[in-house]
Structure 1
Amino acid sequence: MWATGEAYEPYVGRWSRSVARHFVLLLDAPPGGSWRDVGCGTGAVTRAVLDLAEPETVVGIDPSPGYVRYARRNITDPRALFVLADAVNLPFADATASAAVSGLVLNFVPDAPRAAAEMARAVRPGGLVAAYVWDFEEGGMEAIRAFWEAASALDPDARDLDEAVRFPLCGREPLRELLVGAGLDDVAVEAIGVPTHFSDFDDYWQPFLGGQGPAPAYVASLPQERRTELRERLRAALPRAADGSIPLRARAWAARGTRTA
């Protein structure tokens, strides 16, 4: 589902970068230390850590060779290293990192509790573990919420593909429970809201043709006639500003905790 950074960036990456910066600032971590970015993708969280947290090193891991190549190509800071690895089998010794973070990933991991436990294992006692996920419910990630509402109105079977149905982890309480279950202390969850402004309808629609992610994969599965019907339903349903732009918002849930000392 997730293979190339070039397709991801216009779809979700541009908004993920904005959330990543808010996320890192929210953590208020002390400068220095060694960070782990689990499921680094195109490097949005790694870039934010480098820019805002003054780390000594950041190691990003991802199972996608395409994403690792993209991150290496676009982030050349000598403090950053990107390696191929899986979230449920992190290639790090116990208690060797000061922080382990993850952005927009844990809901896609088949065994999210194990991934959270691996992040906790990798940090030192008193170290930080934190993650954020999109809120796919009403009032959350509005661009994707609008898509599935239109798709489900035309195709009842599309409801089963909706991220709000598929990913129950993407809520305040489930995310909190995930970190508590990993043995972390002082777990807190906060909302991060960002604007997602589309210059026009094409700016909104074109990324859904990239084939990556649940919604674009659904679009790719449709015959041309049904794809056109969905596109025109969305065109009519989305809000418009006076200049023709589409003003939407996105919300993510961000959770943090500390490893038991």
Structure 2
Amino acid sequence: MAFGNADSYARFMGRFSEPLAPAFLDTVRTPADGLLLDVGCGPGVLTDVLVQRYGADRVAAVDPTPDFVAAARRRLPEADVRQGIAEELPWETDTVAASYAQLVVHFMSDPRRGIAEMARVTRPGGPVAACVWDHGGGRGPLSAFWSAVDELDLGARDGDRLSMGSREGDLPRLFGDAGLVDVEHGQLAVTVPMASFDEWWAPFEEPAGSAGDYLATRTPQQRAELRDLLRTRFPDEPFDLTVWVWTATGRSTSR
């Protein structure tokens, strides 16, 4: 299941996405004027940074999940937050100065079409930017969890969407396929302090996301076995966890 609850998202992924947002935005040459669109905004993590930097009157956002839309509207009541999908953005062609997609490309039902839609609504020459966790390279927030699952339950995540589009080179290829030009790509790291293994593990008990889907199908004994294996892979004392994203930025072309 995707995250459908803003509070669950904040506890599970927000601890990583919140510090990522300003670093990701720093990789984009944001235009001095015009509307800035956050696609797949979730509860408004990147949207908030856009509002802080450029003002609510320049910021719009869209997400398909009603609870996320409501949370983003509460957080940023002056921004234009709408419900909708990346593959059918509710903005006219060439009406956006720049568009961004933080940690959402691999959740799109059709990533190429979603990026192409971002290019469509972005005015010619404007930047289209995205980032995804390096799940494919084993450096994402869920990598340790799924590595342990693979050891105990090989084949359990065949077809896992999180690995799709999240390996080195995937984003720039996708951008090229969607018609963007002058595509640049790179990587960013986010380091998050953890007080203990229990603090790291606690959000995995949430009934949300791919990890929640997997754990919901396992017995208490299987969940305990997985937790105990993971405990051996982290320090007993506080530790820092560093995770990585792949980034890509391209320019929209005239149509």
Instruction: Please tell me the TM-score bracket, short chain as reference.
Output: over 0.9
State whether residues 96 and 124 of structure 1, in contact with CA within 8 Å, keep that contact through their aligned partners in structure 2: yes
Tell me the distance in 2 between the aligned counterparts of 1:174 and 1:231.
31
Matched letter for residue 52 of structure 1: R
Per the alignment, in what secondary structure is the counterpart of residue 41 of structure 1?
coil
Matches within 5 A, 1:241-260: 244-260=237-253
Structure ranking higher in strand proportion:
1
Tell me the distance in 1 between the aligned counterparts of 2:251 and 2:181.
5
State whether residues 209 and 220 of structure 1, in contact with CA within 8 Å, keep that contact through their aligned partners in structure 2: no
Q: Percent identity?
A: 36
State whether residues 184 and 259 of structure 1, in contact with CA within 8 Å, keep that contact through their aligned partners in structure 2: yes
State whether residues 206 and 212 of structure 2, in contact with CA within 8 Å, keep that contact through their aligned partners in structure 1: yes
Q: Residue in 1 aligned with 2:189?
A: 193
Matches within 5 A, 1:168-247: 168-240=164-236, 244-247=237-240
Tell me the distance in 1 between the aligned counterparts of 2:93 and 2:66.
25
**1:107-126 CA-partner distances (Å, limit 9, x unpaired):** 11121111011000001111
Q: Residue in 1 aligned with 2:149?
A: 151
Matched letter for residue 83 of structure 2: L
Per the alignment, in what secondary structure is the counterpart of residue 143 of structure 2?
helix
Matched letter for residue 247 of structure 1: D
Tell me the distance in 2 between the aligned counterparts of 1:41 and 1:173.
25
State whether residues 33 and 56 of structure 1, in contact with CA within 8 Å, keep that contact through their aligned partners in structure 2: no
Tell me the distance in 1 between the aligned counterparts of 2:160 and 2:176.
27
The alpha carbon displacement at 1:16 in A equals: 0.7
Tell me the distance in 1 between the aligned counterparts of 2:179 and 2:228.
48
Tell me the distance in 2 between the aligned counterparts of 1:114 and 1:60.
18
Per the alignment, in what secondary structure is the counterpart of residue 60 of structure 2?
strand
Q: Residue in 2 aligned with 1:43?
A: 44
Tell me the distance in 2 between the aligned counterparts of 1:239 and 1:189.
33
Matched letter for residue 256 of structure 1: T
Per the alignment, in what secondary structure is the counterpart of residue 69 of structure 1?
helix
Tell me the distance in 2 between the aligned counterparts of 1:181 and 1:16.
27
**1:75-104 CA-partner distances (Å, limit 9, x unpaired):** 23x2x1211101111111111000111111
Gaps of 5+ in 1: none
The alpha carbon displacement at 1:168 in A equals: 2.9
Tell me the distance in 2 between the aligned counterparts of 1:249 and 1:257.
27
**1:21-52 CA-partner distances (Å, limit 9, x unpaired):** 10111113133320111111011111121223
| C-alpha distance 158-198 of structure 1, shift in aligned 2 (>3 A) | farther
Tell me the distance in 1 between the aligned counterparts of 2:4 and 2:145.
22
| C-alpha distance 227-7 of structure 1, shift in aligned 2 (>3 A) | same
Matches within 5 A, 1:54-133: 56-76=57-77, 78=78, 80-133=79-132
RMSD between aligned residues:
1.7
Tell me the distance in 2 between the aligned counterparts of 1:6 and 1:17.
14
Q: How many pairs does the alignment contain?
A: 253
The two structures have a TM-score, normalised by structure 2, of 0.93
Gaps of 5+ in 2: none
The alpha carbon displacement at 1:137 in A equals: 3.5
